[in-house]
Amino acid sequence: MLYLTVPFEQKELAKQLGAKWDSKEKKWYVENQNDYVKFKEWVDGCIIVKDNFLIVEGQQSCWKCHKNTKVYAVGVLSDNIIDLDRPTVSVQKDTGYDLQLWALNDEIPKKIREELSTKFGCKFKYSYTEKRSYFANVCFHCDSLQGNFFLYNEPDSPFGYMNDSELTIYKYDLKEDVGSWLMLDRSISPDYFYLRRCKFAEKS
Ligand SMILES: [Zn+2]
């Protein structure tokens, strides 16, 4: 199920296309995942995330104390994404990745951010490099900010495709599917299978 953002003057059109009215939430919605694309102009986002979000745990050596610390990214399986600009193309084939990963950022759903801060130690931290505070990974040992660039932007960084270290996945089922402005990464051409190096974990 997916909620839509339908302007009042377009409600008849949405209804004709098959949208249903949720009188409790006072919102239009679509029931069937196969129908979502028909309603794309009322989806708040460039992609739709179906079924679940993932918190993905990797490891790196802290730049400051040099101890090993856990670091986190947010992910969605490519099979669970509808790209609204290219809805007929498989996201796996289009991007090369079986799993889409994002740095911690403002587009991450609130529930996932709450999990990251209450259970995984992520927090708002001031970055002297970027001269602003942002929601980030910190070292478990010395509390230093683990900057986004070193975590995600290099191919051999913990979540990069040239790093073969194990990743642990925590799965969070969505009550309803959601639109999102998270961007897909099309920077590699050969297929890369993250799931080879992932194990699924139970939440503690
Ligand atoms: Zn440290």
Bridge partners for 124 per DSSP: 135
Q: How far is the CA of 197 from the centre of ligand 1 (A)?
A: 25
d(CA 37, CA 42): 10
Burial of 159 (0-12, 13-18, 19+ CB in 10 A): buried
d(CA 111, CA 94): 28
Q: How far is the CA of 154 from the centre of ligand 1 (A)?
A: 20
Could you tell me the mean pLDDT of each successive run of 10 residues in the chain, 204 residues long? 97 96 96 96 96 96 96 97 94 95 89 94 90 93 92 88 94 95 86 95 72
Q: How far is the CA of 63 from the centre of ligand 1 (A)?
A: 7
Q: How far is the CA of 69 from the centre of ligand 1 (A)?
A: 7
Q: What pLDDT, on the 0 to 100 scale, is given for residue 106?
A: 80
Spans of all domains in the chain: 1-44, 45-201
User: Which residues make up the environment of ion ligand 1, defined by Cβ < 5 Å?
Assistant: 62, 64-65, 139, 141-142, 144
CB-based contacts of 33, cutoff 8 Å, min separation 6: 2, 50, 177
Judge contact between 103 and 71, C-beta under 8 A. no
